[in-house]
Amino acid sequence: MINKIQNAQLESFIFTLVIGLLVFGPVRAQEDKENRPNVLFIASDDLNDWVGVLKGHPQVKTPNIDRLAARGMLFTNAHTQAPLCNPSRVSIITGLRPSTTGIYGLAPRHRQIEKTKDAVTLPQHFAANGYRTLSGGKVLHAGITSKEREVEFQEWGPDGGHAPKPEEKLVKEPLDMVNHPLVDWGVYPVEDEAAMDDYQVASWAVEQLAREDIREKPFFLAVGFNKPHVPLYTTQKWFDLYPEEDIILPPAPQGDRDDVPDFAWYLHWFLPEPRLSWVIENNQWRAKVRAYLATISFMDAQVGRVLDALEARGLDKNTIVVFWSDHGYHLGEKDITGKNTLWERSTRVPLIFAGPGVSVGAQSSQPAELLDMYPTLVELAGLPAKSGLEGISLVPQLKKADTPRKRPAITTHNPGNHTIRSERWRYIRYADGSEELYDHLRDPGEWANLAKIPEYAEVITELASWIPAEDAPLAPGSRARILVEENGDWLWEGEPIKFGELIR
Catalytic, 141? Answer yes
Q: How many CB atoms lie within 10 A of CB 391?
A: 21
Closest to 303 measured CA to CA, from 58, 61, 27, 54:
61
The whole-angstrom separation of Cα 467 and Cα 452 is: 19
The whole-angstrom separation of Cα 341 and Cα 361 is: 31
DSSP 8-state class, residue 406: S
CA atoms within 13 A on the CB side of 427: 22
Closest to 419 measured CA to CA, from 475, 344, 471, 364:
344
**Which residues are CB-neighbours of 368 under 8 A, at least 6 positions away?**
75, 77, 78, 79, 351, 394, 397, 405, 409
For residue 348, list its beta bridge partners. Answer: 79
Q: How many CB atoms lie within 10 A of CB 323?
A: 27
* Helix/strand/coil percentages in the chain, nearest 5: 35, 15, 45
* 458 CB burial (10 A radius; 0-12, 13-18, 19+): exposed
The whole-angstrom separation of Cα 99 and Cα 414 is: 8
Residue from 79, 141, 330, 413 carrying the catalytic annotation = 141
Using an 8 Å Cβ cutoff, are 319 and 40 in contact? yes
- Coil, helix or strand at residue 2: helix
**Which residues are CB-neighbours of 316 under 8 A, at least 6 positions away?**
307, 310, 355
The whole-angstrom separation of Cα 468 and Cα 494 is: 25
Residue from 79, 85, 162, 413 carrying the catalytic annotation = 85
The whole-angstrom separation of Cα 109 and Cα 86 is: 8
State the catalytic residues.
Answer: 85, 141
